[in-house]
Amino acid sequence: MNKLCLLALFTSMVSAMPSIGQTRDSHVDLPHLERRGNATQLLVDGKPFLVLGGELHNSNSSSVEYMKNVWPHLTTMHLNTVLLPVAWETIEPEEGRFDFRCVDGLLEGARANNLKLVVLWFGAWKNTYSSYAPAWVKTNTERFPRVQMSDGRGTERLSPFSTTVRDADARAFAQFMRHLREVDGNTHTVLMVQVENEVGVIPESRDHSNAANAAFAAPVPSALTSHLERHKATMDPELRAAWEAAGAKTTGTWQDLFGKASLTDDLFMAWQYATYIERVTAAGKAEYSLPMYANAALIRPNYEPGQYNSGGPLPHSMDIWHAGAPSLDFLSPDIYFNEFALWAGRYTLPDNPLFIPEAQGGSAGAANAFYAFGHLSAIGFSPFGIDDQGNAPLDLVGITNPSEHSDNSAIGYVYTDLSRLAPLILEKQGAGSISSALMEGEAQRSARLSIGEYTATITRAGGTSSAGARLAAMFIATGPNEFLVLGSGDAQITFSTDKPGPPIVGIESIDEEFFENGAWVPRRRLNGDEDSQGQALRLYAGDLAEGKIYRVRLYRYR
């Protein structure tokens, strides 16, 4: 066979292989994830798509009427996707009687406003509780058992050990996905689905029901132990340390394998939630195979399992989640903490692309969005509570500077720029020629970033009050010596190199550019005082609002 024939054979084999998260028989045009060069991307109608999202407050999508005033506000912010809940209690108010009027109204509203949706399935759990389960589930605790405290008291949490709960949840979810296929299978308004919301148990580290106690005393399932053995080399270091400290056994109870610590309870619950969610996800995908994921409430400093959601899809239990819920396409962090880069990085793995369904908004969110898309090739970013302009979400209270969060105009500006740059960003994510620097607090005065054969040194400049303590700059290589640069605040950027060749870097030119009639158009050539006599690029906090970016050309000499 000649080389051309081999290439044709290889190409047809590759295109016949299912993409990540797709079943073999799913329709190729459905929204799906695909590895494209260096990045895993979401493809919508055959093209890569950057989710410039925002998540609604929890209760607003329960009313189509209420949403009428919300949609236009979202489009003015240049969102292209809205994350909103669909609750089990809404679609199955009586057992076996399904009502999709609200779902249909939400689809209609989104379409009329040219918006895509990511649906959050608020089934058995939302923030560990079961408040979105229908009344016929909530009130029948005999049939639908709850997580129990160690003293025997019940809780408002359905037990993940109950197959009755699981099967009822999965049946409802499957009906929902079937309906979605019928009404949206060609239009693709809904791009992805989050299965449940921030699962886990609090305030104790595990369920103490009889079913849970029996599972805890039983051997760890071999489906998990064999996965751990196979993935030993790449396993999360914390999980591996716990396993090795207990002797790296491959058979035994949970405590035999991971020790007598509360972390073991967390890992045990992680397996239970993961395998439960696997059944729900698989039932939904069998009807309509959209990408699906689960989201995590992260861990506040020094919190123990049970103080944080024990069993959620956290970094230290990702291997357990991947083993228990292979139908999920990825696991996602809800990042309200100041250490954005740390948490986002822990969810950016070769087998786990980054999608951030909840995050802080405002100027802090704007900086974080630059970092997520530019540095971590995120599929999407989505500040929580995007439908109001004033109130910080509960998760932010006491965590960060609320003034940095409360005004979402910065998100509007950053999404305006990002939507204009999206095709280029997606191309460069795949090519590995885009990156971003992020400074996470005023104490951090500068950052260094490798961009192609150059190093950019970004230093805070001017006042930071208008831009907040967070500052990001994004660099998109448009040639070996040319970059588009945009940032979220006042900064000065100098360039150097440590690569072989002439050692000194000069600025050949800097042009400011604005988006006009579908293209970036140069306006002023910035020189003299405006680029420190050819020594530095200056970014301003007002650039985002002005929609201004910079095209920088560099050269090297001796």
With respect to ligand DGJ, which residue has the nearer C-beta, 335 or 414? Answer: 335
To the nearest 10°, the Cα dihedral for 354, 355, 356, 357? -160
The residue number whose beta carbon is nearest to ligand DGJ equals 393
75: Cβ contacts below 8 Å, ≥ 6 apart? 113, 114, 115
In whole angstroms, the minimum distance from the beta carbon of 396 to ligand DGJ comes to 7
- In this structure, what are the phi and psi dihedrals at residue 136, rounded to the nearest 5 degrees? -65, -20
**Cβ atoms of residues 486 and 447 within 8 Å:** no
With respect to ligand DGJ, which residue has the nearer C-beta, 277 or 485? Answer: 277
Nearest to 412 by CA among 394, 389, 395, 437: 389
Distance CA 126, CA 157 (A): 9
**Interface ranges with ligand DGJ (CB under 6 A):** 58, 127, 197-198, 334, 358, 384, 393-395
With respect to ligand DGJ, which residue has the nearer C-beta, 223 or 397? Answer: 397
**Cβ atoms of residues 457 and 446 within 8 Å:** yes
Assess whether the previous peptide bond of 203 is cis (omega < 30° from 0): yes
With respect to ligand DGJ, which residue has the nearer C-beta, 346 or 405? Answer: 405
Residue 491, phi-psi category: left (phi > 0), alpha (psi -120 to 50), beta (remainder)? beta
In whole angstroms, the minimum distance from the beta carbon of 512 to ligand DGJ comes to 38
With respect to ligand DGJ, which residue has the nearer C-beta, 362 or 430? Answer: 362
In whole angstroms, the minimum distance from the beta carbon of 295 to ligand DGJ comes to 7
Query: What DSSP designation does 178 have?
Result: H
With respect to ligand DGJ, which residue has the nearer C-beta, 217 or 394? Answer: 394
With respect to ligand DGJ, which residue has the nearer C-beta, 275 or 382? Answer: 382
CA 340 to the chain's CA centroid? 12
Distance CA 84, CA 118 (A): 7
Distance CA 386, CA 52 (A): 12
In whole angstroms, the minimum distance from the beta carbon of 37 to ligand DGJ comes to 32
In whole angstroms, the minimum distance from the beta carbon of 449 to ligand DGJ comes to 31
**Cβ atoms of residues 333 and 296 within 8 Å:** yes
In whole angstroms, the minimum distance from the beta carbon of 336 to ligand DGJ comes to 7
With respect to ligand DGJ, which residue has the nearer C-beta, 384 or 454? Answer: 384
In whole angstroms, the minimum distance from the beta carbon of 54 to ligand DGJ comes to 13
- Location of structure tokens 């396409």: 329
Distance CA 177, CA 186 (A): 14
With respect to ligand DGJ, which residue has the nearer C-beta, 175 or 309? Answer: 309
Distance CA 128, CA 273 (A): 11
Distance CA 187, CA 64 (A): 20
**Cβ atoms of residues 60 and 70 within 8 Å:** yes
With respect to ligand DGJ, which residue has the nearer C-beta, 292 or 477? Answer: 292
In whole angstroms, the minimum distance from the beta carbon of 268 to ligand DGJ comes to 23
With respect to ligand DGJ, which residue has the nearer C-beta, 313 or 487? Answer: 313
To the nearest 10°, the Cα dihedral for 293, 299, 303, 308? -30
- The Cα-based distances of 293 to 158, 170, 280, 329, 348 in angstroms read 20, 15, 12, 6, 14
CA 88 to the chain's CA centroid? 23
In whole angstroms, the minimum distance from the beta carbon of 85 to ligand DGJ comes to 8
With respect to ligand DGJ, which residue has the nearer C-beta, 56 or 215? Answer: 56
In whole angstroms, the minimum distance from the beta carbon of 349 to ligand DGJ comes to 22
In whole angstroms, the minimum distance from the beta carbon of 335 to ligand DGJ comes to 11
Nearest to 174 by CA among 279, 62, 58, 21: 279
Distance CA 308, CA 287 (A): 34
Distance CA 46, CA 131 (A): 38
Q: At what angle do helices 362-375 and 409-431 cross, to 10 degrees?
A: 10
In whole angstroms, the minimum distance from the beta carbon of 128 to ligand DGJ comes to 10
With respect to ligand DGJ, which residue has the nearer C-beta, 394 or 545? Answer: 394
User: CB atoms < 10 A from the CB of 313, how many?
Assistant: 31
Cα atoms found within 13 Å of the Cα of residue 494, Cβ hemisphere only: 9
Residues in the chain: 558
In whole angstroms, the minimum distance from the beta carbon of 468 to ligand DGJ comes to 19
